[in-house]
Structure 1
């Protein structure tokens, strides 16, 4: 049975969602439809993924009532600024085919132009006050970004979506999230990003510790990592376009890791980030136009 997480404003969010990062538009609709048919009720996308329209189509094809589905999407840095971010909501909602977005978050901080980050977040607060979104949050915010945001805004983010997997567990940011009442949401929760480096011997999927724990429970490495995340209280958004993998990633509620197994996985942290360094994110390096339609 799906596990839910209650956010700091009382909104209930399914703990497991389907992520669609780097999922081609022509594969997104089928993946979303499959996930909803399997039992998922949380879909995570982003304006920068260029597949929001296909996410909306997958939701419609699945035939699940909109009230049962938790839709999350993100504002890209090119649309930061108060008015620009209000318009970014219109673009995303239009592509998704919805009037209300359940969780609307900032995709990155802009450390060198933090005033734009603040203005964008204040727009999220306006959207929340107007009922156009049910919860607001951030992504890839480090501890200093979170504290700076708190000093210049009224509402604590409900979620901070960050890279978290056994090889990069970010304990300091997770601690800050917990102290502020922010849910840690893990992207690349099973360490898929570790498989892109060309050295399979250093992939979480082939790690002997994880495989050993998987063997004890009769589960896959991916299922063990997802269970580890859930027992830490995290939200997870694993990605796949294969129906059998989507189903496997959802089948993690019938076993529990021991305290020793949790500690063994936590000890695998290498401190090596797979994604872009948050402090290096600039409009010059990462800016891209988000189309109107």
Structure 2
């Protein structure tokens, strides 16, 4: 095991704290994700981001169980912030969905449970939008609140919710959302959205902080990791382009969850707590904003971001 860096944390509106850095597990294939999670935890990661729809939670659970059972590691369940998400086909059976996630992850509770996106549907596969369901947001949120009341999750929140839906959610919530998870990087800064949720004490998690390299085509001609401004700042700080983009999110107050299954990159992505970007450097990266999403959820058949 390597020495573990001190990862900064932020307070949530529940009174708990959340690490500003974590390992994303989206697109991590079965057969790879277990070793990735174990590598991350032994390297010092204190946050694992998972989701039922990723199709790998059982393997993530194997990794968690093995690390927590390893007395030499010194890593206990309470040392790790674990997030998962409710998929669209389970909006009518939220408690059952969380129970399955807990079973797969081999946990008694989550630290954070998110509604993965606002659209409910039914179909034969997880991405088969055969039939939309119309379940009131208030009913879904009441079910989420009951999970927190029962201690099955320490906090609840949403992901990929537009500003107007969060506004509506706040009008019906007994327990306000603690976190909103969004696609956020310098090509998609989402300033107005973030300003709104932060004004209501909702913490932001940035997914796809590196601009989804290698997964989605389209958008700006230059990949974010290859943008001259990102490379200039990487050279100035003697860091990698990925480290600059991760640090940008942290310096803007967010939690950042880069994904990797490469052991060296997993460790490299964590080496961002020995420097900070200057305010003018953060602003220079903000100026790259073109409002581009690499994942716009158009497959849902519901244009949630327009």
Q: Provide the TM-score with structure 2 as the length reference.
A: 0.87
RMSD, aligned CA: 1.9
Provide the rounded CA distance (Å) in 1 between the counterparts of 2:107 and 2:64.
10
Partner SS, residue 216 of structure 2 = helix
1:253 paired residue among 273, 276, 281: 273
Residue 108 of structure 1 corresponds to 117
How many Å apart are 1:119 and its aligned residue?
2.2
Residue of 25, 29, 39 corresponding to 1:20: 25
The residue number in structure 2 matching 1:281 is 300
Matches of 1:127 and 1:90, distance apart in 2: 10
Alignment partner, residue 124 of structure 2: none
Q: Give the equivalent residue in structure 1 for 2:80.
A: 69
Out of 80, 103, 107, which is 1:94 matched to? 103
Partner SS, residue 101 of structure 1: coil
SS at structure 2 position matched to 1:196: coil
1:79 alignment partner, one of 90, 93, 99: 90
The answer on whether the counterparts of 1:109 and 1:281 sit within 8 Å (CA) in structure 2 is no
Confirm or deny: 8 A CA contact 1:190 1:238 kept in the other structure: yes
What does residue 182 of structure 2 align with? 162
Structure 1 segment 230-241 matched on structure 2, within 5 A: 230-241=250-261
Within 5 A, what are the aligned runs for 1:135-146?
135-146=155-166
How far the C-alpha of 1:115 sits from its partner, in A, is 3.3
Length, aligned pairs only = 280
Structure 1 residues 5 and 97: alpha-carbon distance in aligned structure 2, compared to 1, 3 A threshold: same
C-alpha change, 1:151 and 1:281, in structure 2 (3 Å) is farther
1:173 to 183, 189, 193: 193
Q: Secondary structure at the match of 1:165?
A: coil
Does residue 1:147 correspond to 2:167, yes or no?
Answer: yes
- CA distance, structure 2, for counterparts of residue 110 and residue 195 of structure 1: 23
Change (3 A) 1:269 1:195: farther
Which residue of 197, 203, 220 corresponds with 2:217?
197
Q: CA deviation at 1:140?
A: 0.4
Q: Is the 8 A contact 1:193 1:274 kept in 2?
A: no
Structure 1 distance, partners of 2:171, 2:300, is: 21
Measure, in 2, the Cα distance between the counterparts of 1:29 and 1:151: 40
Q: What is the TM-score when the length of structure 1 is the normalising length? A: 0.91
Aligned with 1:43: secondary structure? Answer: strand
Deviates more, 1:139-148 or 1:185-194: 185-194
Displacement after TM superposition at 1:276 (Å) = 1.9
- Point out where structure 1 has 5 or more consecutive residues left out of the alignment: 284-293
Deviations 1:61-101 (A, max 9, x none): 223211111110000011002xx001111110011111111
Q: Deviations for 1:208-246, whole angstroms, at most 9, x for unmatched residues?
A: 001001100000111011111101100111000001100
Distance in 2 (alpha carbons) for counterparts of 1:175 and 1:156: 16
Structure with bigger helix share is 1
Partner Cα separation in structure 2 for residue 95 and residue 69 of structure 1 = 17
Per-residue CA distance 1:106-161 (angstroms, 9 max, x = gap): 00012886634432221110011111110101000111010111112212111000
Q: Which one of 49, 52, 62 corresponds to residue 47 of structure 1? A: 52
Q: Deviations over 1:161-215 (max 9, x none)?
A: 0000011111121111111111110000121257631789511110000100110
CA contact (8 A) 1:140 1:161 kept: yes
Residue aligning to 1:223: 243
Contact 2:208 / 2:258 at 8 angstroms: preserved in 1? yes
